[in-house]
Amino acid sequence: MLKEIIAVFIGGGIGSSLRYLISKFSFITSASFPYSTFITNIIGCFILGLTLGYFLKSNNQNSLIFTFLTIGICGGFTTFSTFSSEGLTLINNGNYSTFLIYTLVSVILGVMAVYLGAVLSK
């Protein structure tokens, strides 16, 4: 159990650092749409799908590397709390249509990205 906790800790730090770098060096910026979080979450979903597909194929979901990559790196990289906070900001600023588009597209593309990654890695 301690090895898994350490793997999640280190992976989460790596994922969170990568997310921070994307937010600071994002080539697309907009005050009206949270592109950095959107792009980060879709990339993270795709990487999670690739990882899940690979480990499901090899029937090795209990490995330390699986925990490190999925819960650690992907969990630290993607960010539901920032997604939610930015959604609330859109609502508070009266950008209801942008909030609806952001939420629907994020969820739909996120699920599709996990699926696509899983299919491609099988």
Contact present, 99 and 90 (Cβ < 8 Å):
yes
Between CA 48 and CA 71 the distance in angstroms is 9
Contact present, 47 and 11 (Cβ < 8 Å):
no
Q: What is the pLDDT along the chain (122 residues), one digit of tens a residue?
A: 999 999 999 999 999 999 999 888 877 777 788 989 999 999 999 999 999 999 988 877 778 999 999 999 999 999 999 999 999 999 999 999 999 999 999 999 999 999 999 999 97
Distances (CA, A) of 67 to 8, 10, 115: 7, 11, 19
Query: Given this model, what pLDDT does residue 62 score?
Result: 78
The reported pTM is: 0.88
Between CA 40 and CA 23 the distance in angstroms is 8
